[in-house]
């Protein structure tokens, strides 16, 4: 089946990109309207507005008292570098107090962080699909080959999406990664940070981008060749291309699981360079995997509703929905394992991560748990519901929003701390990369027939019945 991106879809994508650009532009202008000159007045205005609220909050129980103690500890920990040098800091920056300086940084970080969260979110969908695709090949799955072209369409975003993420990281610099601040590794600097300096053999700008290029290069190479062999298999009279695809998929999966883990340290965990967690790579993987599968299901249902995938039946949708259900629970398992271990032992250097989040991000932090766990658990448990397209789409929308929030919760608390909001910069960034994603993916979907007809498992897949 041939598909061509419809004019309406293309127009919608372009409108999204334009609106997104406007939103992002506004975000930067708005952030930069706050400068060293007027930060004092802005903060003073904020304090007046919040004064009443703080007074009532004061009536806390013993439990609350504990929380506050932890918070203040967290703050001093997160910013230990500057706090340790408090005296120097104030003299160096003249009129600005320590508090004003932090607030100014947070306000300026916001548009960068908003861009980065959205860019990473859409990139991670494409990368998750790429991993799923490789697994289908390596496992020689018999049900999924009818969906291969949809997956290949989505993975076309891996390379551009990854480049965008790296570019944002490059230009955002210390707005995202505090370990890139001038002088963090220099003992004589006021910014000197003993902990970050100790990690500087890994966390340095050159290394970051060399590794980024290797990760992205490897993923894009696999995507390029698997697509090439998949297309070549369509007109081949033997299974040579399929076998090649099988081999490179197995090799890619080994490469992927190492690089994905390191990517998550570099691109995400390093926004909190004082904090570390061993299962973080898996956690990020689960998040990208479930969002990727959700997007496969949603695009498949969309194309099927256009009558373009008549070989995809209810059972394929059912299987995808089972994956959405299962991996959502897998994600929760990892989220909880990370959270509970750290909460239970309550070691100050680790627990600050969650203290910041629970203190300042209560709604997004626990809201995402409801969206990514309780909702799919209850909605997608019933076998009949997994076969109903609109049901799967609704569940998919909630899961995607939940995983956007997941990335949001990973990046924002380290960059803008309590000054977060989901406003114009955030929504603008989502529109920008969402539009770009739709445009690239649906253009790629139009470049090859929607049925990978040369695949040796195609007949089995077409008759797949659950």
Partner 1 sequence: MEASKVIHAIYTDDEVLMSAVKKVKSEKHHIEEIYTPFPVHGLDKAMGLAPTRIAITSFLYGCVGLTVAIVMMNFIMIKDWPQDIGGKPSFSYLENMPAFVPIMFELTVFFAAHLMVITFYLRSRMWPFKKAENPDPRTTDDHFLMEIAIHDNESELTSLLQETGAVEINIVDKDEDAH
Site residues for partner 1 per CB under 8 A: 61-63, 66, 336, 339-340, 343-344, 346, 381, 383
Three-class SS of the chain: CCCCCCHHHHHHHHHHHHHHHHHHHHHHHHHHCCCCCCHHHHHHHHHHHHHHHHHHHCCCCHHHHHHHHHHHHHHHHHCHHHHHCHHHHHHHCCCCCHHHHHHHHHHHHHHHHHHHHHHHHHHHHHHHHHHHHHHHHHCCCCCCHHHHHHHHHHHCCHHHHHHHHHHHHHHHHHHCCHHHCCCCCCCCCCCCCHHHHHCCCCCCHHHHHHHHHHHHHHHHHHHHHHHHHHHHHHCCCCCHHHHHHHHHHHHHHHHHHHHHHHHHHHHHHHHCCCCCCCCHHHHHHHHHHHHHHHHHHHHHHHHHHCCCCCCCCHHHHHHHHHHHHHHHHHHHHHHHHHHHHHHHHCCHHHHHHHHHHHHHCHHHHHHHHHHHHHHHHHHCCCCCHHHCHHHHHHHHHHHHHHHHHHHHHHHHHHHCCCCCCCCHHHHHHHHHHHHHHHHHHHHHHCCCCCCCCCCCCHHHHHCCCC
Closer to partner 1 by Cβ: residue 142 or 218: 142
Token pair listed for 126: 């494409």
Closer to partner 1 by Cβ: residue 6 or 383: 383
Q: Which residues of 269-284 are buried (b: 16+ CB within 10 A; e: fewer)?
A: bbbbbbbebeebbbbb
Least separation in angstroms between residue 314's CB and partner 1 is: 15
Least separation in angstroms between residue 63's CB and partner 1 is: 5
Closer to partner 1 by Cβ: residue 342 or 399: 342
Closer to partner 1 by Cβ: residue 63 or 87: 63
Token pair listed for 241: 């291309």
Least separation in angstroms between residue 337's CB and partner 1 is: 10
Least separation in angstroms between residue 381's CB and partner 1 is: 7
Token pair listed for 65: 């008292």
Least separation in angstroms between residue 334's CB and partner 1 is: 14
Least separation in angstroms between residue 372's CB and partner 1 is: 16
Cβ atoms 155, 129 nearer than 8 A? yes
Least separation in angstroms between residue 416's CB and partner 1 is: 27
Closer to partner 1 by Cβ: residue 249 or 338: 338
Least separation in angstroms between residue 359's CB and partner 1 is: 15
Least separation in angstroms between residue 340's CB and partner 1 is: 5
Closer to partner 1 by Cβ: residue 61 or 188: 61
Closer to partner 1 by Cβ: residue 62 or 187: 62
Nearest to 321 by CA among 258, 279, 384: 384
Least separation in angstroms between residue 354's CB and partner 1 is: 10
Token pair listed for 48: 């007046």
Closer to partner 1 by Cβ: residue 381 or 394: 381
Least separation in angstroms between residue 347's CB and partner 1 is: 12
Closer to partner 1 by Cβ: residue 276 or 333: 333
Token pair listed for 341: 């271990």
Closer to partner 1 by Cβ: residue 33 or 346: 346
Closer to partner 1 by Cβ: residue 170 or 336: 336
Least separation in angstroms between residue 53's CB and partner 1 is: 23
Closer to partner 1 by Cβ: residue 97 or 313: 313
Nearest to 216 by CA among 169, 180, 172, 171: 169
């Amino acid at each position: 089946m041939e598909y061509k991106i419809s004019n309406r879809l293309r127009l919608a994508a372009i409108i999204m990109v334009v609106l997104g650009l406007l939103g992002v532009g506004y975000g930067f202008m708005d952030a930069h309207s706050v400068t060293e000159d007027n930060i004092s007045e802005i903060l003073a205005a904020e304090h007046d507005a919040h004064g009443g609220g703080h007074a009532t909050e004061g009536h806390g129980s013993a439990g609350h008292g504990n929380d506050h103690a932890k918070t203040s500890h967290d703050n001093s920990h997160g910013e230990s570098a500057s706090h340790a040098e408090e005296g120097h800091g104030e003299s160096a920056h003249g009129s600005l107090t320590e508090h004003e300086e932090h607030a100014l940084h947070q306000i300026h970080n916001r548009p960068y962080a908003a861009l980065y969260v959205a860019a990473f979110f859409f990139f991670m969908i494409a990368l998750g699909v790429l991993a799923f695709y490789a697994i289908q090949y390596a496992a020689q799955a018999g049900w999924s080959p009818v969906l291969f072209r949809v997956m290949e369409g989505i993975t076309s975003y891996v390379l551009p999406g990854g480049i965008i993420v790296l570019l944002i990281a490059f230009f955002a610099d210390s707005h995202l990664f505090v370990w890139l601040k001038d002088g963090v590794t220099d003992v004589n600097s006021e910014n000197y940070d003993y902990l970050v300096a100790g990690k500087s053999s890994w966390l340095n700008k050159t290394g970051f981008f060399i590794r980024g290029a290797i990760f992205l290069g490897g993923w894009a190479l696999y995507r390029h060749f698997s697509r090439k062999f998949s297309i070549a298999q369509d007109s081949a009279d033997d299974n040579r291309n399929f076998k090649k695809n099988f081999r490179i998929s197995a090799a890619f999966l080994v490469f992927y699981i190492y690089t994905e883990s390191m990517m998550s340290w570099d691109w995400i965990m390093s926004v909190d360079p004082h904090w570390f967690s061993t299962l973080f790579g898996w956690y990020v993987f689960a998040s990208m995997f479930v969002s990727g599968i959700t997007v496969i299901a949603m695009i498949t249902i969309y194309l099927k509703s256009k009558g373009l995938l008549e070989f995809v039946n209810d059972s394929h949708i059912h299987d995808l929905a089972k994956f959405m259900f299962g991996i959502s629970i897998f994600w929760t398992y990892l989220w909880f394992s990370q959270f509970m271990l750290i909460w239970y032992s309550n070691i100050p250097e680790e627990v600050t991560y969650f203290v910041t989040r629970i203190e300042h991000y209560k709604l997004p932090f626990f809201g995402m748990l409801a969206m990514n766990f309780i909702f799919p658990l209850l909605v997608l448990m019933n076998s009949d519901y997994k076969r109903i397209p609109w049901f799967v789409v609704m569940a998919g929308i909630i899961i995607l929003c939940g995983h956007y929030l997941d990335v949001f919760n990973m990046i924002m608390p380290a960059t803008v701390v309590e000054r977060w909001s989901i406003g114009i910069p955030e929504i603008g960034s989502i529109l920008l990369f969402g539009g770009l994603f739709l445009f690239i993916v649906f253009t790629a979907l139009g470049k090859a027939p929607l049925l990978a007809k040369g695949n040796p498992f195609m007949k089995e897949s077409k008759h797949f019945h659950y």
